[in-house]
Chain A
Amino acid sequence: MTEAPTISRGRAFRRAASHALSSRWSLLALLGLLAVLVIVFGALEGIPASRLLGLTVRGILLGGALALGALGITLVFGVLKMANFAHGDYMTTGAYLGLVVMALIPASAPVLGLGFGYEFVIALLIVMPLTGLVAYGLDRVTFRRLRKRRAAPIMMAMAALGLAFGVRSIIYMVFGADFTFYYQGGPRPIVELLPGLRVRTDQLFILAAAVVLIFLVYLLLERTKIGKAMRAMADNSDLARISGIATERVVFWTWLISGGLAGAGGMLYALDVQLRPEMGWWLLLPLFAAVILGSIGNVYGALFGAFTMGIVWQVSSAFVNPAYGPAAAFVVMILALLVRPQGLMGRDK
């Protein structure tokens, strides 16, 4: 009789300790520790602090394009409960659709000190709904059938894998395997943000466009009826269904939004780097690393993860071959999962 409380107190203590170790704060502490390590090793290797700062800024700029991709993955996971491994290839689709649209509309001279004219913005606005419709159309012929059969989520992921390779093979067939640019050899204006810290104006545009789109998604999710329905589906799909939410309508909007964001993210990433049929597959790793770090299904977590992974990707290039950037994001994801398997915004167990 007297021993029982002692045991339960010991157990409670242990449980509290393991809770504290896997809390949100310890995940943030891990990321802080990594930042400190980077600074210390940077100093030991003789990497100037200004270089690390410059890479961090580059990482935030890259994070904008990643955030658009990560938002789509997390929305689809939240509403449809499936890991969409084709999402990277939807981004590639958007990038190449942009190439087609820009060839069809007249080009203007570069504007506002950027390296491109109005046609890029117009193409962006056309490509977004187009990619969204492609994503929805592919859902109609693949995932919808599986949902109706109540297939396991893992079968959905496998269908997504088939789609990823199928979409990429069509891009190979139409555009060939070589890389290309939107503006071959065009001007690439540079601006000095801080003394010694130069970035391309295009990259500032990418971040600004990403922030605007993220804000629009926020408004849509928080202020509109369809956004509310999407959040309800993400929270409890069975409850949402019996409360009379038109699930197929929610599914349509989810694909339109996440496909649209993928299209925009793909075009913006391609503007910064290049267009390549494999770009989406290579982005998949940092994108999922971002989404999982922030808790899959959580919109704010995905944003946090995207900017973190953008920084990790860029800063790692000060230490290792830049080709390992996406892999560095992956390693940080594994470390984060060891500390907190449910991710930053996940519910405490």
Chain B
Amino acid sequence: MSDPTFFARSALLAVPLYLLLVVVLRGTSAILKHAIAVVAALALAVALVLMLPPGSLSYFTTFLLMGSVYAVLTLGLNVQWGYTGLFNIGIAAFFAIGAFTSALVTTVEPTGSMAAFTQQLFGLGAPFWVGLLAAGLASGLLALIVGGPTLRLRGDYLAIATIGIGELVRLVFQNERWLANGPQPLRGLPQPLSCLASSEGCSYLPGFVNAFFEPLSPREYPYIYVAIVAIVLFLVYVGLERAIRSPWGRVLRAVREDEDSAAMSGKNVAAFRMQAFVVGAVIMGIGGSLYAHYVVAIDYGHFDPLYGTFLIWVMLMLGGSGNNRGAVLGALLVWAIWTGASFAIDALRPTLASISPELPQRGPYVRFLLISLLMLFIVLYRPRGVLPEEKVVSLARD
């Protein structure tokens, strides 16, 4: 407790824990639930900060951060595949559009000698939340354009069309220098509230807030960002849960189960498919924005079909498609396997080297294989995932 950052770090870590508890706790009155959640989250956060060595704690924080970013992307896929049955294997396209839109909206177009190194279509220098909304908007717009000619097609045609969009978008960001500096990275994305972790503090916040976070150094920024990501994830989750329990969500599931009988009940199947596709894409775009502002520098390589699409599919399938809790759980589990595997492979380096001297440097591909086998295992043996879809009762309407 002698560490001056103790209070600030505990308070920040309590935010994601509190939101998690609010979602998980059931069967109590609302006020009691929130009270329990606040107390338990603070206690847990304090315990974590006290008990874990500083290295492990910051590792845990960045793990939670990236896991939550992927959870947002997985929730987006859950709307499309889990609830509506749209086979989108071009998640990377919406992920990338969100990330690059947010980058263009929040950065400032370079001038003078810097302009020779960085080219971009525009740079508005807007705040983070504007970038976040613009990312969702741009991604939704792309879905609207793509969905027009492809959503009326059969499932596997839509799959190939979305693969095409994923590749096309990546190629554009790779080859069009004027758009977003491709193939070079677009750097210097602003990080929201990063001023809290700097010595000056945030001029727009009251003095006592700045004083509370004063001890934090820029190295501890992930503690701030994990709270922001958790809030966005929570809002997306709660919004989706409400939407899925509404009559709208019921129609989506009807479309997934039996298109013809949904159409016979007078539902405009094409319109509902389009709505689900666009809503999912908006969420993916928001996920892209969250990702971009964490990594600060983005280029086309981040949106490879493996990291940008396949990993998210494994997350949803493992967690349980058609279940929002499952989507979030799957994202955290697969991210744990993905990052944990890289530790295991590092530890196995001597063994790998004894098989072939080339193998240790190809270690990253071992986890690539592991995640593919995981996907095959789920599809073959556990197609419903860890948390299978539950029977959903629509909210009463009066």
Interface residues of A (CB under 8 A from B): 82-83, 85, 142, 145-146, 151, 153-155, 157-159, 161-163, 165-166, 168-170, 172-173, 176-177, 281-282, 284-285, 288-289, 292, 321, 323-324, 326-327, 330, 333-334, 337-338, 341
Contact = CB atoms under 8 A, between A and B. Distances in A.
Contacts of B87: 154, 157-158
A337 B152 CA distance: 10
Nearest to A328: B168
Interface string B349-361: 0000000001100
Given A83-B156, A83-B160, A154-B155, A161 B366 contact: no
A172 B161 CA distance: 26
Nearest to B375: A162
Nearest to A326: B167
A168 B364 CA distance: 13
Contacts of A146: 379-380
Given A155-B379, A157-B156, A161-B310, A334 B369 contact: no
B318 to A, nearest CB: 12
B163 interface: yes
Interface of B: 85, 87, 89, 149-150, 152-153, 155-157, 159-161, 163-164, 167-168, 171, 174-175, 305-306, 310, 313, 317, 358-359, 362, 365-366, 368-369, 371-373, 375-376, 379-380, 383
B64 to A, nearest CB: 26
B369 A170 contact: yes
A22 to B, nearest CB: 13
* Chain B contact surface mostly: helix
Contacts of A172: 362, 365, 368
B383 A151 contact: yes
Nearest to B379: A159
Contacts of A333: 164
Closest 8 CB pairs of A and B: A166-B372, A162-B375, A83-B156, A169-B368, A330-B164, A169-B369, A172-B365, A162-B376
A159 B313 CA distance: 11
20 contacts: A142-B380, A145-B380, A157-B87, A158-B313, A161-B313, A163-B372, A169-B366, A169-B368, A169-B369, A172-B365, A176-B358, A281-B305, A288-B163, A292-B157, A324-B171, A324-B175, A327-B164, A330-B167, A334-B150, A337-B157
A61 to B, nearest CB: 23
Given A162-B372, A337-B153, 17 more contacts: A142-B376, A142-B380, A146-B379, A157-B87, A165-B306, A166-B375, A166-B376, A168-B368, A172-B362, A172-B365, A176-B362, A177-B362, A177-B365, A284-B160, A289-B160, A330-B167, A341-B153
